[in-house]
Amino acid sequence: MPNNLNNMPKIIDQNFYKTRPRPEVRIVSFKDKIYEVVRKIPAGQALTYKQVAALAGRPRAFRAVGNILNQNYDPDIPCHRVVKSDGTLGGYNRGEAQKIKKLRQEAMVLPAANQKCPVFASTVKAGFPSPAEDFIEERLDLNEKCIKHPAATFFVRVSGNSMIGAGIKSGDLLIVDRSIEPSNNKVVIAVINGDFTVKRVETINKKVFLMPENKSFKPIEITEDMDCKIWGVVTHVIHSV
């Protein structure tokens, strides 16, 4: 018994108080979290500084996001895809011209800064003319009127006449909202095998088609074998008269 008691402290020390290696804990900085969020933004899409801050775990730190991205020169972290909440471009350490160029290469052009124009209280007669009224009821901001989701809205120039029956002509400028869910009969921008096209979505006998508005063009059936993605929904068309 005495021998066992004498050995007890050594046994306890060996089995219970032995120093064990602690697991390595990697601390991820806010900067690394921001870079990881921005790295995952796909081409053709954008996030706002506030959205990046929220995804990185600090929703109120959107100004810090801008400062951190301004220090980044890694081409694998597409800082040009981060914009301001009001739809304007925001900063870019390679210059605004380069940011615009990159966005255009991805078929993305953001709206210009807000500018309000006068709106007359009277309507314009399409039949016989009526006396003009010389007062202005309000001032209209076309961004507010046509753009409901600035960070998700872009301009796309049309090439071709496959949608002329829908009033969309070659050279027209389309306002495209990427936040709207594409549904039956919506006019959409689709990407098929890497090429952009504007068509109307129609479901016929449980099959989905991209329908032209010109009899000279054939409908395109969307199948599982196709590399097809709906890029956004057309909300407005701008063209000269």
Residue 172 has a CB neighbour count (10 Å cut-off) of 18
CA nearest to 221, candidates 231, 238, 206, 236: 206
In terms of DSSP H, where are the helices of the chain? 2-15, 30-39, 49-55, 62-69, 96-105, 142-146
List the catalytic residue out of 31, 186, 199, 207. Answer: 199
Biggest CA-to-CA distance, the chain = 120
Give the three-state DSSP class for 139.
Answer: strand
DSSP secondary structure letters along 35-64: HHHHHTPPTT--EEHHHHHHHTT-TT-HHH
List the catalytic residue out of 162, 186, 207, 216. Answer: 162
Place of tokens 């020390």: 13
199 flagged as catalytic: yes
162 flagged as catalytic: yes
Which active-site residues does the annotation give?
A: 162, 199
